Structure 1
Amino acid sequence: METKRRQGFRWALQQKGSVVPVVFKQVLLCGLFGFFISSVHNLRNLGFSLSVPLWAGVIPTIVIALLLAIRTQTAYERFLEGRKSWGNLTNTVRNQARQVWVAVREIEPADRAKKLETIRLLVAFVVATKLHLRGETVNSELEYLLSTERCLELKNLTNPPLQISFWIGNYFQEQYSRKSINSTQLAAMHKLLDRMVNNLGACERVIKTPVPLADALHLRELVLIYCFSLPFQMVGAFFWLTGPIVALISFALLGLEEINREMENPFGYDDNDLPLDLNCDIMLHNIEDLISQELSPDHWELTSVN
């Protein structure tokens, strides 16, 4: 029990994934400003008071709290939509790979290589989606999964995942014309392919409809104004403790606002974003495990086309 408590304490103080390094300078500035106001307020020869009643900050506090609550809800909804869309994409790709590996009949020896190529195209679709969402071009991750010609073709396109989906769809049509799959299997595979493209569009919607910049800037400005007004409300009651208290409240507000900013784009490189690189690696290992499974000799008889 004691070990778990210590681990929990260290976990609470870790810097990775924390917004402390981001907001530290702003929090420190607010705390120093509070110390400065308390120092000026406690000068005995000061002819006027810097203190305002605590109740004067009730309405601004309520307004800031409501604005932050709305911003938090919006950011969480965007993060949740991105997480669901990405999760649906990976699950659909796994199902599609299973369908191709099990259902597509191998008539000639060369069909195995074509099937493996298409299954790796499914992984390439996920990797290309990750790069597309991050605004990156084709790199070595895709070069491992695609031929040199196809990689060069993707470099000249604005939406590489969509082109990969065309290649996969063409493979399905080709196998249907060769009677390697029947019409029911073709329809099922195209349905899964449609889901892949739909999930791609859902992820793009999160990226391409950001929170308006004016809205984000306005809230940040209001939070900063509120934090710098706190010393005048607290100096009359807390005196020399005004600086630390202002720093603590500023840390809570500015930290929450920064967390919301990070959650708006769940596909980036922030510590709190979705682990897309890890998910792509796991997907690749899953597909490699799948194609390492040998099908039974009578499999094609059981799944023969009509």
Structure 2
Amino acid sequence: MTDGHSAPPADAPAPAAAADTAAAPVPADVRSHAVHHDATPAHEKEQASVGRITPRPTFLEHLATSRDSQFHLDRRDSSELERYFHGPRNMEKHSKWPIMMRMHGSVMPKMILPLLTVAIWSTAVTVFSKKVHDLGINNILLTVLGFVVGLALSFRSSTAYERWADGRKYWAQLVQTSRNLSRIIWINTGEREGEEGKDDILRKLSAMNLILAFAVALKHKLRFEPDIAYEDLAGLAGHLDTFARDAHDRMVVNPPSKTMWKSAGEYLGVSFAESNPRKYVKRSKKPLGHLPLEILNHISAYIDSCVTNGTMVSTLHQGQAITMVGTLNEVMTGMERVLDTPLPTAYSIAIAQISWIYILVLPFQLYNALSWITIPASIVAAYIILGLATIGSEIENPFGQDVNDLPLDSYCRQIALEIDIMTATPRPNVDDFMSRDDNLVLFPLSQSGYPEWKDRSLEDIRGALRTKVVVGPSTAGSDSSTLVENLSTKNSGHSV
């Protein structure tokens, strides 16, 4: 996308406005999707052209010309197989497999080691009971402990899903507020004449880019990614004077590659292989600030400038714009609440211990009744119990990179696409779309356009509206022209 927006997926359809690109020349910097936004003042550029002064490099140019980093922005390129088992899940893809046979979105990879442990344990208990001494016990514990385990898993699942649902509600509110604020900026903010009008349009685009930058920056903050030089963020907020820009660290956006053992451990859900998600935040040597909040400050400053220069004259729109900035702040605070208040550790530990105690005692209870069948029966029971516990653990933080976490990248791309759709055409002129011949104001009752109905009397219009209700939509659509012509002839003595 142009204007610093994040690039859409490769299989996404091109915007409708792209069909007109052949008619109008496209600047070279737009064709190449350049990420460098030159913020050097014009007078310095002129002086530089005659050799009197060298333009100061922008933040993005500094990153691009860095000797070490070469500005390798964060590009999470991965193979198709790796994306299949890592998340978040791509909602645009559709699978025709029965849902019980799908692997994408399943917690099965994280269940391999626990199920293998249960298989070895149940086999050892069964073989020892067969060859050495009967270890079977009364299965009354199945009823007593099973009830407790069921309550614990129900509590775990309900609290985890509540957090996941809250995260989705907040992102839906963020998308809605971004749409409304973008529309106020693009439609309800005026444009002056001449060069000032050009400046107004560019300022509008910059402000709408900041709305997108807020969503993208919030996504990175929720994932404990504190830098600003990510591919989808640098072009949107790299020109702002923020703490995140001053604290830029090449190692954050270009971390060293993981070893094979660490990657396998994370894939299988081994806790010892998982890194602290806040490690880059803790390792920062400079204050990281609060990038989404700082972006909101810049949006507020833009709204104040529109009020000052007279481009946003309606007090209603002024109040709505400021209210929406406050709504974005409330959404951000709500997401931080979901992120920073997980299930208390005591509950998590107790539920995990209760589940594992039940699973480890299960072979002793099943042996007397099932004999060798104890082994597969224990594995199946472990899959059910540990599967529910694992799902609760995975969705407890809905903003991460697990398969079932919220697709925050897709939400940000949605905002970027909708902003592009808004800015693709100028602010609509009411006279241009209201008084057209093809504006069928009484469709489906009448095929006559706005100008024809404008030439008629008010009584004709009122009568047609009444007929539209009496006839109903199904009958009106079948022979609408005849109905209206008959009505006009009867009431006013002339036809359409």
Q: CA deviation at 1:58?
A: 1.3
1:34 paired to 2:122: yes
Aligned to 2:297: 166
Equivalent pair of 2:242/2:289 in contact (CA under 8 Å): no
Q: Which amino acid is the alignment partner of residue 91 of structure 1?
A: Q
1:103 paired to 2:188: yes
Give matches, 1:293-304, under 5 Å: 293-296=425-428
1:141 paired to 2:229: no
Structure 1 length-normalised TM: 0.90
For structure 1, which segment, 148-157 or 260-269, has the greater mean C-alpha deviation from structure 2 after superposition?
A: 148-157
Residues 97-123 of structure 1, C-alpha deviation per residue, up to 9 Å, x if partnerless? 011100111112211111110011100
Residues 192-242 of structure 1, C-alpha deviation per residue, up to 9 Å, x if partnerless? 111111001000000111222232122112211211100000000000000
Give matches, 1:65-214, under 5 Å: 65-107=150-192, 108=196, 109-136=198-225, 137-138=227-228, 139-150=230-241, 154-156=245-247, 157-181=288-312, 182-214=314-346
Q: Which amino acid is the alignment partner of residue 137 of structure 2?
A: V
Aligned to 1:262: 394
Equivalent pair of 2:243/2:290 in contact (CA under 8 Å): no
Distance, in Å, in 1 between the alignment partners of 2:208 and 2:430 is: 22
1:61 paired to 2:149: no
Distance, in Å, in 2 between the alignment partners of 1:23 and 1:155 is: 43
Aligned length: 290
Equivalent pair of 1:143/1:151 in contact (CA under 8 Å): no
Change beyond 3 A, Cα 1:242–1:40: same
Q: CA deviation at 1:296?
A: 4.1
Q: CA deviation at 1:33?
A: 1.5
Greater Cα radius of gyration, structure 1 or 2: 2
Structure 2 length-normalised TM: 0.56
Give SS of 1:126's match.
helix
Q: CA deviation at 1:19?
A: 0.9
For structure 1, which segment, 214-223 or 174-183, has the greater mean C-alpha deviation from structure 2 after superposition?
A: 214-223
Change beyond 3 A, Cα 1:226–1:254: same
Give SS of 1:266's match.
coil
Residues 168-191 of structure 1, C-alpha deviation per residue, up to 9 Å, x if partnerless? 111111111112112221101111
Equivalent pair of 2:136/2:368 in contact (CA under 8 Å): yes
Residues 137-159 of structure 1, C-alpha deviation per residue, up to 9 Å, x if partnerless? 21221122235344676554431
Distance, in Å, in 2 between the alignment partners of 1:264 and 1:126 is: 21
Distance, in Å, in 2 between the alignment partners of 1:289 and 1:298 is: 19
Equivalent pair of 1:52/1:233 in contact (CA under 8 Å): yes
Higher relative contact order (CA 8 A, sep 6+): 1
Distance, in Å, in 1 between the alignment partners of 2:370 and 2:136 is: 11
Higher helix share: 1
Give SS of 1:112's match.
helix
Aligned to 1:302: none
Distance, in Å, in 2 between the alignment partners of 1:273 and 1:153 is: 25
Change beyond 3 A, Cα 1:74–1:296: closer
Sequence identity (%): 29
Q: CA deviation at 1:34?
A: 1.3
Alignment RMSD, CA only?
1.8
User: Which 5+ residue runs of structure 2 have no aligned equivalent?
Assistant: 1-94, 248-287, 432-496
Distance, in Å, in 1 between the alignment partners of 2:427 and 2:343 is: 50
Distance, in Å, in 2 between the alignment partners of 1:124 and 1:150 is: 14
Residues 260-290 of structure 1, C-alpha deviation per residue, up to 9 Å, x if partnerless? 0011100000010000011111211111111
